[in-house]
Amino acid sequence: MAKPSATPVRTYTVSLGCPKNRVDTERLLGALGSNMVPADSVDGSDLVLVNTCGFIQPAIEESIGTILDVVGEASDVATETGRKPVVCVAGCLVSRYGQDLMSGLPEVDLWLNTEQIGLWPAMAAEALALNLPGDTPRNLSTGPSYAFLKVSEGCSHNCRFCTIPSIRGPHKSWPVDFLLDEARLLADQVSEIIVVGQDSTAYGSDLGQGNDLPALIKGLAAIPSLQWLRIMYLYPAGLTESLLGLLRDTGAPFLPYFDIPLQHAHPDVLASMGRPFARDPDKVVDRVRSFFPDAALRTTFIVGYPGETDAHFEALMDFVRRTRFHHLGVFPYWAEEGTPAAAMDNQVPDEIKLERKDRLMELQAGISAEILEGYVGETVPVVIERESDEWPGLYVGRAWFQAPEVDGVTYVGAPPDTRLKLGDILDVEIEKADTYDLSGLV
């Protein structure tokens, strides 16, 4: 017999990988009802949920290690108490290696792959013997400063290094009305909404009229309680003059922060990667800066892609020097099983990949330090995220050009005997700049 929906369910959750996974976790827990009570550990929980990442080898190893840890802890709890929590493993790793995982880990009670994402609440409720409560808001895990708004599933591009289309399937957008309903609830709880999707600029390309990115942006910007709006994963080909003009005309709450996953700068490497945009990233950067001269730019690059020569890499270094990104992520190429790039000739040795990563990050460290030094003496809006553990009166926040979980932070000192409210956006006078972080006073 199913339990009443008000019965507390103590839930220990681990959400690995990208923000899109976090949204899946929050939507699932929300759908199970307001009675889902966070637990600090496997011991004492009724449900253990691990939402996995299976994108590249390090993420796979982290996911498997986490599963093994929670399975072992759940078995210990069962031995000590005679009561084992329901262990649920979800997400990309299940979609990629589900059969192998299931045969090797019979201790897991429920497996949820991404093809079944619409059925996750019903499947989890059945495993827990719960009645689903009906429509319920997301169970946020990010605090009062921000929340992610996942606008689409999957990807229809054919980048030769990427496993996402085979794991998550082709691009599929959520309808504008659904997203705006969720966003209104989020905006009542947080200061900032961050739009995420595998390719946010492709949003609505699979839907009918009125369900496109301009319609979504206009709807989000019209939410009275929303203070900041940030859009991540903006593919270069989608950053058209029309879209940039709309964003410029939108103004607040939109933040002129552009996260553009370029992956490389040399046309030969981009062509080999099968990247879905023109082979000249300088044009993309120039186009953005023609509309937003003071934009904060973030990107990611892959080094050591098959066939990447010293000359290709030096061209990438030159591009970074002249572009001067606010934020930059660098990843050594991983030959992922099943991708065309894994079968290519001219694989680059691991030691060269790592050496190139270190050189590029060293270059970026200097650029970042110089950019941040330019904010010293300025007053910058900062969202307050949490109290620092370092000393009383010190808080950790983010300036408008710092996205959560991937960029640096701003340390904020409060006046004596003053407690700052988490989630508030305050004017902070910047007094010090480090390589990636700022410090200032309210």
| Residue numbers belonging to the annotated binding site for [4Fe-4S] cluster | 18, 53, 92, 155, 159, 162
> Alpha-carbon distance 336 to 415, whole Å?
51
Q: Residues annotated as binding site?
A: 18, 53, 92, 155, 159, 162
Tokens 């490497």 — which residue?
269
> Alpha-carbon distance 178 to 210, whole Å?
13
Reading the block at residue 300, the tokens are 């990611």
Hey, how many other C-beta atoms are within 10 angstroms of the C-beta on 237? 15
> Alpha-carbon distance 442 to 296, whole Å?
23
Hey, how many other C-beta atoms are within 10 angstroms of the C-beta on 183? 22
Distance of CA 209 to the CA centre of its chain: 28
Distance of CA 309 to the CA centre of its chain: 31
Compute the residue count for the chain: 442
> Alpha-carbon distance 385 to 195, whole Å?
19
Contact by Cβ (8 Å): 297, 268: no
Among 141, 162, 39, 163, CA closest to 91: 163
Reading the block at residue 61, the tokens are 């190893």
Encoded amino acid at 152, one letter:
S
